[in-house]
Structure 1
């Protein structure tokens, strides 16, 4: 229990914050999580846990539990938008048989993490709205909206896009609207979609669909290019008819799925720079607070899981070698920043491939078909640098300590 000397406060009970709480508590730290909501829960939405994120959940012994409440993705299928005709099938079972990709309801993953954290002895305090965070040469201070203060030896800002912790460490920078908005919805799986990620590609827009839980639900993410921007929020409710009108040219299974939408959320997609400073004065950033990413590589949650593990490993190594907290946090940023920047850049550059218009769309789809026929292994392996990255294999000492209990 190498971190038993540390008292840590984590701001935000999302995926990254709860994963960090579990890692750090199992390493011996006293951990408190502050959550501004009245309950640790998530709005209805799905996400993809790719092998790099699964490596962390496996090290935390949560992989079997996740498998029971999610769908293992067997393939990624790219389709045309009008009739849903198959353009390219990336068969994960055949060409990435050693890897595991899962489609999970966000609330289910949050539930696994918060139960694990509480069982390990993490204190989760609800209705704790943070007004600001002060990073000082001494102990950092979290100032709550009700006037109270708390802190510890280390404060971790896992508080998302509008992070108070990031604001304490970095000069605010205005995000850049991408010219794209996205709708999210969950519908019944009346179309009997198989456990595959379906991507319907249209001019200036695309729709992603994949099943959740026992296969009875389907998660939808619909992205459209537009000149005006929508509010950057996960909880901006929109009229489902607006979604259906925006994607009225989509046919086949896509149209059947859209017809079932009863509730949906809409938000604008913005590019945020990766934070220049991830730590200062006993405050550190994690997940979206450090590196917000667009959803086009499905890496937001997975990067946060990686961050949580690496932060624990760096703190443990520093404690073992009797180095101070600043050294540990500097090592954490050094190990994570370049990778985060590269993944964020890849996500930013990926959406256009699904939005091609005539006359480029048809020949581009033919090239995809040819690539799938002649070099399917290469097509599947093009992002191995993301998916085969295993932070737990790079910190075996931390893995052994964190999986005890």
Structure 2
């Protein structure tokens, strides 16, 4: 048991991305202070767009930041709009404008990652984020206290460490079994197109997925409609790397979608320098915590982006973790064990579902593809995925007894 003192445990959050700032924000909501250590010299989110589904929106509302984000985002009227690769024929589409709030109590939005990051930052106390602090090592003393070491030579000995330091997590490597990555055979392209250069169909308040043999592409507007976000998936080249900062050329992007509907290739042609990164496959971890150290977000459960739930699951992690610590401040290791019991089954299910989705989206033309297209026309993905969108951490906590 940790002697946390009268002011509560000293909590260090390693990583100032979406998950780390969400953890800081939800801990503050529970009356618990924490320090976020971020390696960058300024808070910024690389990448481009993301989907803020109802399970994320309700948590942002509880933090008091949803209205500010919504002003910079786009509320979707249409989602799960699947189109055929060659001619753009609509296979199915979901009326989010009328159904989403009725089913789940919140709308679905699309946003630039930087806008979500800023919204979460506004819910973290001033002075709660230390920039330019790159964690290079984590050890645990004989008495169980974690020791963090930073690139500038600083050493910190908190009571609790939350590793929110992404897919290449230093914290994960120190406390849990190796999450060895395997080659998925896929890479992702991403790009932003200024709305004035985008065709009309791409400027709609719609999340559209074009699917075809071995490839698919998703687009939707972000930044209050000022840009259109593109993210596409294709077979990976040997030199692709798992990095948000690697780039490709528009010509390389276009080559992957040669022969697709001309409207889609015109949208790609309007993009600036696209990013490109490899998708590496990782099996779900069996545990996230060791003593007073735990993981959150991509450090715990990196997943393929095919259900657009990576950021959402990090925010959910943060909400559950904060409540578990608030309920058991005198024994953080026990609180962290409860947290991982609550979260691992759900995030593992999403990792598996996201993995399977690529096989469905990338079928070659033929009988299986035709059967899939018929099933899309008959499906209601907004209802079928209710297990994702209806999730409420408060309900999960109420329904799970302490160990």
In 1: Cα distance, 2:43 partner to 2:291 partner:
28
Q: 1:2-401 maps to which residues of 2 (within 5 A)?
A: 4-76=7-79, 77-98=81-102, 99-117=106-124, 120-136=125-141, 137-189=143-195, 190-192=198-200, 193-226=203-236, 228=238, 230-319=240-329, 323-360=330-367, 363-364=370-371, 366-368=373-375, 370-371=377-378, 378-394=380-396
Return the alpha-carbon distance in structure 2 between the equivalents of residues 23 and 369 of structure 1: 38
Residue 196 of structure 1, CA deviation: 0.7
Distance of 2:395 and 2:69 partners within structure 1: 20
Aligned in 2, Cα 1:264/1:325: closer, same or farther, shift over 3 Å?
same
Could you say if the C-alpha distance between residues 154 and 368 of structure 1 is closer, same or farther in structure 2, counting changes exceeding 3 Å? same
Residues 176 and 369 of structure 1, relative CA distance in 2, 3 Å threshold: closer
User: What CA deviation, in whole Å up to 9, does each residue of 1:46-93 have, x standing for no partner?
Assistant: 011111111211110111111111011222210011221211112223
Say whether the 8 Å CA contact 1:207–1:254 is kept in structure 2: no
- TM-score normalised by length of structure 1: 0.90
Q: What is the CA distance between 1:28 and its match in structure 2?
A: 2.6
- Pick closer, same or farther for the CA change 1:211–1:5 going to 2, 3 Å: same
Distance 1:248 1:166 in 2: 40
Q: What is the SS of the residue equivalent to 2:67?
A: helix
Deviation at 1:370, TM superposition (A): 4.1
Tell me, in whole angstroms, the C-alpha distance in 2 between the residues paired with 1:361 and 1:220: 27
C-alpha distance in structure 1 between counterparts of 2:42 and 2:368, whole Å:
46
Name stretches of at least 5 consecutive residues in structure 1 with no aligned partner.
Answer: 373-377, 397-405
* Helix, strand or coil at the partner of 2:123: helix
CA RMSD, Structure 1 to Structure 2 (Å)? 1.9
* Secondary structure at 1:116 match in 2: coil
Q: Give the conservation status (yes or no) of the 8 Å contact 2:191–2:230.
A: yes
Q: Secondary structure at the match of 1:146?
A: coil
Is contact 1:135–1:168 with CA below 8 Å preserved after alignment? Answer: no
Give the whole-Å Cα distance in 2 for the aligned partners of 1:21 and 1:369: 40
By how many angstroms is 1:274 displaced? 2.4
Distance across 2 between alignment mates of 1:23 and 1:59: 9
TM-score (ref. length: structure 2):
0.91
**CA contact 1:157–1:289 (8 Å) conserved in 2:** yes
Structure 2 unaligned blocks of 5 or more: 399-403
Q: Secondary structure at the match of 1:107?
A: helix
Shift of 1:35: 0.8
